[in-house]
Structure 1
Amino acid sequence: MAANTNAQTRPDIISSVPEIELGSISTKDKQDDPYLVAFAKPHDAENPKDWPTSRKWLVTDVLSATGFNRIMVSTIMAPALSIIAKEFNMNSAESAMALSIYLLATAFGPLVIGPLSEVYGRKPVLHASNVWFLIWNIACGFANSKEMLIASRFLAGFGASSIYALASGVLGDVWRPEQRGRSLGVYLLIPLLGAAVGPIIGGFMAGRTTWRWMFWATSIFQVVMVLVSFSAFYETHGPTILKARAERLRRETGNQQHYTADERLHSNKSPYFVLGRALIRPLRLLAFHPIIQISSLISAFYYGILYIVLSTFSDLWITQYQQSVEISGLHYISCALGEIAGSQIGAKAMDVLYRRQASRPNSEHAPEARLYLVFPGALLGPLGLFLYGWAAQNRLHWVIVDVGIFISMFGMQMTGMPLQAYVMESYPEYTGSAGAASQFVRSLTAFLFPLFAPRMYEVLGYGWGNSTIGFIGLAFGLPAPLAILFFGARLRAKARPSC
């Protein structure tokens, strides 16, 4: 009886629970069951969405800075590929593999890491992946054969992939829909720099010191990020926080009847069943959910183009314009500026559009509303590719080439952000798994596209090579999001019970 009284006098523990945390628990259960452990309404200090803004930005910035290093490592090798290939006697396919194998690992890693974060929480998964990535990135710097370098790159990429699996989950955990644009914009700001800064740093290191310092320097930075994440990153996964609260209640009161909605849903299932079902969830989403399939294909196409640019841009300046390795790396600044401008303008536009829709009488936000911002970017991306390709083909002034790549990166980033927000809001219960499913396809194109890019430019030239990609982008990038815009709501309604 004492335990019961104790529970009833804790309004911060027993209250209504949002539907996304309850699954099949009814409204009556929520109101009448004194042992149900849930976030209090309208405010709960432990609910990540009710955290102080400073703490929300803290976890967002820690994740963003972690992503900077991991994404930078994916591209830092690009300017030094010829040097590494010469040292290890690698052919062109093997040197391309040394760069791209990292991205192949980021396709498979999230399929495991995303579901694990929904079972065990975001925090332990982030910490474990940080240490794993550090170990194998150091190994890359000490590689004494092409086999060891390629294997270490793959294993490092597997650890790095957690950033892709965790980003959607953490941002969905702590930020509300009206803050979606700004939070995505700030989060993406630092990682987007990493993709372009990597080749710049790599170019100067390749020209002035050994290529091994690319990995040793990023490992030193990773040590700092490990220490920062252990001290400054908080658990954001709601069910994990509630489970810890229920365990604390059971321990303090001695009453074992306290439970969470998630525990009740899985009460008659073994831990192995729960884990197994979670691990196959990304593949189920990818196989049976048209929303995930279409949005993943759109974002994957543009992601593959990004890595075509990142893997070949340096070679363009060295072979077509006879510039040095160091100077060739500086042109990646135009890539970074285009992505940063696209992310910041896109973020502002997302929030403005959301507020405008919310201000209408009797309006209700639907995830499909995010897709209106996809179309301007879907036009600008191919247009930038046309300009970049034909300017490079005719060896026009380097500024014109950089302007073209700026426009292309701007458009692709404007397309990617609304798609990411749409997936996050379509699958709020399983943002980690949905993000993992999307990242699987994106990473595959990032791995595969650079493998055929050199041959494509050799046969078609930069003009027709980029034009071919641009025409495919126009033919696919406009009708596909239009289909989701019209049919997305019905597809979401059918898909939700099978998640």
Structure 2
Amino acid sequence: MLSTSDTVTPTPQTDIELASISPQPNKQSDPFLVKFAEPYDAENPKDWPTGRKWAVTDVLSATGFNRIMVSTIMAPALSTIAAEFNMNSAESAMALSIYLLATAIGPLAIGPLSEVYGRKPILHASNLWFLVWNLVCGFANSKELLIASRFLAGFGASAIYALANGVLGDVWRPEQRGRSLAVYLLIPLLGAAVGPIIGGFMAFRTTWRWMFWSTSIFQAVMILVSLSVFHETYEPLILRSRAERLRHETGETRYQTADERLQAQAQAHQSPWIVLRRALIRPIRLLVSHPIIQIASFISAFNYGILYIVLSTFSELWTHHYHQSVEISGLHYIACAVGEIAGSQICASLMDRLYHRWTAQPPSSSFSSSQIHTHTPELRLPTIIPGALLAPLGLFLYGWAAHHHLHWAIVDLGIFVALLGMQITGMPLQAYVMEAYPEHISSAMAATQFLRSLTAFCFPLFAPRMYVVLGYGWGNSLIAFLGLGVGVPAPLVLWVFGERLRERARVR
């Protein structure tokens, strides 16, 4: 998507990197260009056997489950931890939410690094980093050490946000986008909701430290699995290894990949350090100067912040207003998990069916053949609208049912509908960004994750006060009205102007 005609000359001021704007040599005219064979190449991740693709996807999914679960698992034990370390309310909230602040910062570096050094080494390094600091959380003997180690663990955990969509984009083709996202998200979506459930039982029956020890044991197992199962998926790195092998076997130094040639061109004008620096600031540059990223980030960040308002306050609703035990209050998070899982599976099926329908529809007198058969990223956007309407409806139901102390099942139904709607909104938005920025998926997703994690960090800080002042009815109604104001117009803007915005991105 991010390419231009042969008339564009790369310069140091180019906003989109050289790999995405320079002309690609033709293999037939250049026998020394190393690229994947067409129509099939066993080393091309998109041509891998289906079993290997699912193995890579499942490793990411299980890793994501653990890291996301850790973000919320200590919520039911906050009062216990606060009492042990003599923490005030702000400090205890910080111990929980600073993990999310780290997941805002981490992808800004980890995403670009995965586009320089590959997905595999970054995944393994982040796995080990997360394991070490999550263990430190379990052995923390002061509030300062707990908060600091939570931040550093969150930094390592953030790699999954930077890597996941990049790997899925490396491995799966557009017609498989919905199913691959649904399978990947199936387990991580459980993480945020299962965390408080597990944490509630641990807080009641054993020491809170087992929350970190048990997740560290799971992480150690995942390190062993990923070392044996996860294969490198980043196309430029795979081709670079092939080129190095050809140069070694033949002694012919002219064997090079298109990426190596572009890097040589860049280094003719810039030092390797400048090239690396440009890669590291790419997510921020995308966020600051690309309206597509800005709009997508705004929608995604708002919904993510609302999710963490629910996750951080849901237990208090049941313990303080419905007078249920900590253990039982945690079970209501099942409604959150089921809503997100149902949304992901419904949306996945809808996305793939619409893709096949739009690309396979026969030409008609009203449309040209190219219009009918060419898939564009904007065709992902209509799927967002049903979710943008369902989520506020669920928030209204949840808020007013809780306000009037109606039966717990009605409250859970409202949460189910709200999170189902948010998930139906989120998946097409992810697919849209992946397909609008195919050369730099990890950097683009890191840019969107920055705002997502910031809202997840900030929104729970004001949520308790909002509910005290407005109550659950008007508090959730306010959020729902804001959701309608954000969720419906923003996708329509991308639908109308998205193609023109992508054209502008090509020539910057």
Q: Which category describes the TM-score, using the shorter chain as reference length?
A: over 0.9
Q: Map 1:475-490 onto structure 2 (within 5 A).
A: 475-490=485-500
- Report the equivalent of 2:14: none
Contact 1:97 1:150 in 2 (8 A): yes
Q: Is the 8 A contact 1:22 1:262 kept in 2?
A: no
Misfit runs of 4+, over 6 Å: none
Structural mapping, 1:104-115, within 5 Å: 104-115=101-112
Aligned position for 2:276: 275
Cα contact 1:79–1:203 (8 A) shared by 2: yes
Distance in 1 (CA, whole Å) between partners of 2:44 and 2:308 is 38
Partner of 2:7: none
Amino acid of the residue matched to residue 309 of structure 1? V
Deviation at 1:80, TM superposition (A): 0.9
Residue type of the alignment partner of 1:207: F
* Equivalence for 2:195: 198
**TM-fit CA distance, 1:24:** 1.7
Cα-to-partner distance string for 1:13-34 (whole Å, 9 max, x where unaligned): xxxxxxx97752345x432111
Q: Report whether the alignment pairs 1:226 with 2:236.
A: no
Identify which of 2, 22, 25 aligns with 2:23: 25
**Partner deviation per Cα, 1:307-341 (whole Å, 9 max, x = no partner):** 00011111110000111111110000000000000
**Deviations 1:177-231 (CA, angstroms, capped at 9, x unpaired):** 0000000000000000111110000000000000000000000000000000110
In the alignment, does 2:464 pair up with 1:454?
Answer: yes
How many residues are matched?
Answer: 478
Q: Which AA in structure 2 matches 1:143?
A: A
Structure 2 equivalent of residue 17 of structure 1: none
Give the corresponding residue for 2:387: 377
Shift of 1:48: 0.5
**In structure 2, distance between residues paired with 1:21 and 1:89:** 53
Task: List per-residue Cα deviations over 1:22-78 (Å, max 9, x = no partner).
Answer: 752345x43211111000011100001111111111100000000000000001011
- Does 1:444 pair with 2:441? no
Per the TM alignment, residue 389 of structure 1 is displaced from its structure 2 partner at its CA by: 0.7
How far has the Cα of 1:274 moved from its partner? Answer: 2.1
Give the match's secondary structure for 2:28.
helix
Instruction: Calculate the aligned-residue CA RMSD, in Å.
Output: 1.1
Aligned partner of 1:412 in structure 2 is 422
What are the within-5 Å matches in structure 2 for residues 88-487 of structure 1?
88-268=85-265, 269=267, 270-360=271-361, 361=363, 362=369, 363=372, 364-487=374-497
Distance, in Å, in 1 between the alignment partners of 2:506 and 2:289 is 11
How has the CA–CA distance of structure 1 residues 116 and 388 changed in structure 2, closer, same or farther, with 3 Å as cutoff?
A: same
Residue in structure 1 matched with residue 32 of structure 2 by the alignment: 35
Amino acid paired to 2:453: S
Q: In the alignment, residue 500 of structure 2 is paired with which amino acid?
A: R
Q: Is the CA contact 1:68–1:191 (under 8 Å) kept in the aligned structure 2?
A: yes
**SS at 1:31 equivalent:** coil
Q: Distance in 2 between matches of 1:383 and 1:25?
A: 48
- Shifted more, 198-207 versus 91-100: the winner is 91-100
The separation in 2 between residues aligned to 1:473 and 1:318, in whole angstroms, is 27
Does 90-99 or 158-167 show the bigger shift? 90-99
Which string of whole-angstrom CA distances, capped at 9 and with x for unpartnered residues, describes residues 344-389 of structure 1?
A: 0000000011011011232210100101010000000011011101
Of residues 384-393 and 251-260 in structure 1, the stretch that sits farther from structure 2 once superposed is: 251-260
Residues 88-146 of structure 1: per-residue CA shift (max 9 Å, x gap): 11111111111100000000000000000000000000000000000000000011111
Q: Is the Cα–Cα contact under 8 Å of residues 73 and 198 in structure 2 kept in the other structure? A: yes
User: Which residue does 2:9 correspond to in 1?
Assistant: none
2:50 is matched with 53
Q: Identify the residue that residue 6 of structure 1 maps to in structure 2.
A: none
- Structure 1 SS opposite 2:218: helix
> Which residue type is aligned with residue 317 of structure 1?
W
Q: 1:122, 1:93 → 2: CA distance?
A: 37
Could you tell me how far apart the structure 2 residues matched to 1:431 and 1:271 are? 22
| Alpha-carbon distance, 1:253 to partner | 1.4
1:44 to 37, 41, 45: 41
CA contact (8 A) 2:24 2:258 kept: no
Unaligned runs of 5+ in 2: 1-17, 364-368
Cα deviations by residue, 1:392-421 (Å, 9 ceiling, x for unpaired):
111111000000000000000000000000
In structure 2, C-alpha distance between the alignment counterparts of 1:477 and 1:184, rounded to whole Å: 21
TM-fit CA distance, 1:257:
1.3
Q: Distance in 2 between matches of 1:173 and 1:335?
A: 30
Task: Tell me which amino acid in the other structure corresponds to 1:460.
Answer: L
Report the identity percentage.
75
Does the 8 Å contact 2:19/2:262 carry over to 1? no
What residue ranges of structure 1 are gaps of 5+ in the alignment? 1-19
Q: Distance in 1 between matches of 2:146 and 2:87?
A: 11
The residue type paired with residue 25 of structure 1 is P
Paired residue type of 1:353: L
The one-letter amino acid paired with 1:346 is C
